[in-house]
Amino acid sequence: MSLSPGDRAAAGLPDDRPTPQVVIEPDADRLARAVAEALVARLAAAQAVHGDASVVLTGGGIGIAVLEHVAGLVAEPVREKVDWTKVDVWWGDERFVPGDSAERNEGQARRALLDALDMPDFRVHAMPPSDGGFASPEEAADEYVAELREYAAEGADLPRFDVLLLGMGPEGHTASIFPGTPAVRDERSVLAVRDCPKPPPTRVSLGFGAINSAEEVWVLATGEAKAPAVARALAGADPAEIPVAGVRGTRATRWLLDGAAAAELPRAQG
Ligand SMILES: O=C(O)[C@H](O)[C@@H](O)[C@H](O)[C@H](O)COP(=O)(O)O
C-alpha cells in the first residue's frame, strides 16, 4: 500500500518523495529558454497520457521570462506539440489588487503568453482580483478553493497539477508564503495573505498542501541574491524559516537555477 506524504508524516514515517534534482544554466536567459522547452515537453507528455494537461504559474521575473520564451516556441509550430486548448492554467499566488493593475500576475502572464494562445476562457483559472466581486482576500481564497474542487476528480479537493512553477525570494519566500508568517503552518489549500512583507501586502496564495500535491514542482531562481536561501533550502532548512524548503512534487522536484543562484551550493549539488 502506498501512503500519501501527509499520511506518512502523521505515521512518523520519513518522506519518500524523490530527492530534489538541481539543474544549472549559465545565465537567466538560457535558464528561461531551457525551462520553456522543458515545460512544453512536459505538457505535451501529459496530454499524451491524459488528453489534457495543467500548469500552475508563478509571477516574478524569471517566471514571466519563461512564459515569454514559451511564446517564442509557440511561434515555431514545427517544434511545438502542445494543444493549448486543452491546458488548464492555474496560479500559485496572486496580488489582491484591481483586475487591470500591472501588479497582477495574471495580467503579466496574459501579456507574456496567454493572449497569444487560442485558449478557451474556462481553462484559465485566475485568482479573483479585488474588484472581482469578492470583498476580501478570504472570500477570494474561498472562491479559488471552490474552483479547484470543481476541476478535481470525484471526491478530491484538488485537480491534477502536472507542473507547478514557483519563484522564490532572497529570504526564502515562495508563492506568497513568507518566512515566519501564519501561512507557513496553514494546512488549507488556498490562503488569504495580509501584511505581506513584499508589496503589494494583500494576496491570495496556494498553501503547502496544494503546492505539494503537484506531480512536478519546479523552483526557478536566478541571481546572487537568491544563492544563500537556495543553499539553505537544499540543505534541509525549516520551511517556517525558509518556506521554499518545504516544497516537493509527488513525482519530481526540480530546482532550476542560473549559475549565480547556485553559487553557494556544495560542489556535489552545484
Ligand atoms: O507574487 C510574487 O511576488 C511572486 O509570485 C513571488 O513568489 C516571486 O515569484 C518571487 O518573489 C520571485 O520574484 P523574482 O523572480 O522577480 O525575484
Which residue, 61, 68, 58, 87, is CA-closest to 166?
Answer: 58
> 78 pLDDT band (50/70/90 cuts)?
low
Pocket test for ligand 1, best of 68, 90, 174 (most atoms within 8 A of CB): 174
One-letter amino acid for residue 244 of the chain = V
Ligand 1 pocket by C-beta < 6 Å: which residues?
Answer: 58-63, 93, 105, 167-169, 174-175, 198
pLDDT reported for residue 74? 87
CA distances from 139 to 162, 199, 203 (A): 27, 20, 12
- Per-residue confidence band for 1, with pLDDT thresholds at 50, 70 and 90: very low
Report the nearest-CA residue for atom 1 of ligand 1.
Answer: 59
Check: CATH 3.40.50.300 for 18-157+168-238?
Answer: no
pLDDT for residue 267: 74
Nine-digit cell at 118?
487560442
d(CA 179, CA 169): 10
Under 8 Å between Cβ of 78 and 194: no
Residue 156 CA, ligand 1 centroid: distance in Å:
29
Categorize the per-residue pLDDT at 108 as very low, low, confident or very high, splitting at 50, 70 and 90.
very high
Apex CA 242: angle with CA 252 and CA 199, to 5°?
Answer: 105
Hey, whose CA ends up nearest to atom 7 of ligand 1? 175
Amino acid occupying residue 84: W
Closest ligand 1 atom to residue 221 Cα is 15
ipTM summary value: 0.94
- The alpha-carbon radius of gyration of the chain (Å, integer) is 17
pLDDT mean over 208-230: 98
Cell numbers placing 137: 482576500
pLDDT in tens, 13-51: 556 788 999 999 999 999 999 999 999 999 999 999 999
Give residue 60 CA to ligand 1 midpoint distance, Å. Answer: 4
Average pLDDT over residues 161-183: 97
Beta-carbon contacts of residue 7 (< 8 Å; ≥ 6 apart)? none
Q: CB within 8 A of 127, min separation 6: which ones?
A: 91, 93, 94, 106, 140, 144, 204
Asked if omega into 200 is within 30° of 0 (cis), the reply is yes
User: Domain-by-domain residue ranges, the chain?
Assistant: 18-157+168-238
Question: For ligand 1, what atom is nearest to the CA of residue 220?
Answer: 15
Return phi, psi of residue 82, to 5°.
-95, 135
Question: Tell me: the pLDDT tens digits for 116-135?
Answer: 998 999 999 999 999 999 99
What is the biggest distance separating any 2 CA atoms in the chain, rounded to whole angstroms? Answer: 51
Grid cell in block for residue 38: 522543458
Mean pLDDT computed over every residue of the chain: 93
Q: Is the pTM of this model over 0.90?
A: yes
Per-residue model confidence (pLDDT) at position 7: 58
Cα 168 to ligand 1 centre (Å): 6
The residue among 157 and 14 whose pLDDT is bigger is 157
Q: What pLDDT was estimated at residue 5?
A: 55
